[in-house]
Each structure stands twice: as C-alpha cells, then as structure tokens.
Amino acid sequence: MEEKVRYLSRIYQHPDLGIEDIQKLAAVHEKVSFKKGDFILQKGEILNEYYILEKGLFRSFVHDYQGNDITIDFFSENDILIEVSSLFQRIPTQENIEALTDSVAYKIDFTDFQELFHKLGGFSEWGRSWMSSSLFSFKNRSTLMRVESARERYERLLKEKPTVGKMAPLKHIASYLGITDSTLSRIRKVR
C-alpha cells in the first residue's frame, strides 16, 4: 500500500490533496496487468473505469468510414488512460484502446471515482485541473495538425512522448500524425 500511495501522490498532485486524501484514493485503486494486444475498451462499449499507466504503452484508435485504422492517441508511463466521453457521459464509444506492450496500471472504478470526487474537495479540484489541461492539449494538437509540417509533428511527438518513438509500430505513429507510412519512413531517414 505504501508503494501505491507514493506512486499515486506523484500523479494526483494538487495543493488541496493531503496524504490522507491520497491514502483514500489509493485504497480504491487496483493494480492490474495487461498483455500486448489486450483491449481495455472496444467500439460500442461503455468505459466503467480509468487507469493510471505505471508501465507500458497503449493506443486509442478508430476505424474511418473506409475501414482504415486511425490512431487517435498514445498513452505512456504516468498518463491517465481514459476515453472521457464514454466514461463521464456513459455512452458507447467509437474508440478502441489497446495495449501495444505488456503493461501495468492502477485502475479506479467509475463509482469509486464519483464518490471520492464528491467527498474530497482536493480531488475534484485536481480533476478539474486535469480536464482543463487535457482540453488545452487536445485543442493545441488539433491546431498544430493543420499548421505544422509532418516533420514538425513527428519531432514534437518524439519530444513529448519519447516512449512512442521507441515502442510503437511505425504504422500507428504515421496514422497518429496523419501521414502515410512511406512519408514517415522518409522523415526518419533524413533525421
């Protein structure tokens, strides 16, 4: 339990969250393992928990109208592994979330999350801060996809998520960047 508290205190950093609050959070987080290829969510399902990724790499992806596999996001160490719309709006998802490597995470059930979110003021403040930061990142990525070159997008990805460059298959990186595999290969050769 001590190791879990120490780890979660790094993730749930907020001035209003004390050690007692972190201990309450740790009590409802379950350590889980995944094998490469495992799914935590598939299209049509409703997510009932979220995860904090301690080790490993996941990706979320959809299939476009032509059936092409398009990577939406990558999740690596210390990321919150979540599909926000499905979890909070309680609706079936369009996304799939798959382990790209063997992974270890801490899982919190939606019911436990809701209970502590309403009981612990610091946790709700942390949640609001995390959500606004995530919204900013999403908006920023959406804008940069239109104004940056493919090379700039690739360089930014490697800087922001170096694990992705080391562990993700090139076809997933290319679809995340909105480019073809061959374009990514050319960018990597010149690098």
Residue 173's pLDDT band (boundaries 50, 70, 90)?
very high
191 confidence band (pLDDT: 50, 70, 90):
low
The pLDDT-based confidence of 190 (bands split at 50, 70, 90) is confident
* Closest alpha carbon to 26 in 44, 48, 3, 55: 3
Q: Is the pLDDT of residue 1 over 90?
A: no
pLDDT of residue 160 exceeding 90: yes
pLDDT tens digits, residue range 95-117? 999 999 999 999 999 999 999 99
Residue ranges of the domains in the chain?
2-147
Query: Of the spans 1-5, 97-101, 139-143, 181-185, which averages the highest pLDDT?
Result: 97-101
For residue range 43-76, list pLDDT tens digits in order.
999 999 999 999 999 999 999 999 999 999 999 9
Residue from 99, 83, 75, 79 nearest 43 by CA: 83
Which pLDDT score, from 0 to 100, does residue 49 have?
A: 97
May I ask the CATH class of domain 2-147?
mainly beta
Instruction: Say what the pLDDT of residue 153 is.
Output: 95
Contacts of residue 140, defined as CB under 8 A and 6 or more positions apart, other chains included, come to: none
Average pLDDT over residues 158-184: 95
The phi-psi region of residue 58 (left if phi > 0; otherwise alpha if psi is between -120 and 50; otherwise beta) is beta
For residues 185 and 170, the answer to whether their CB atoms sit within 8 Å is yes
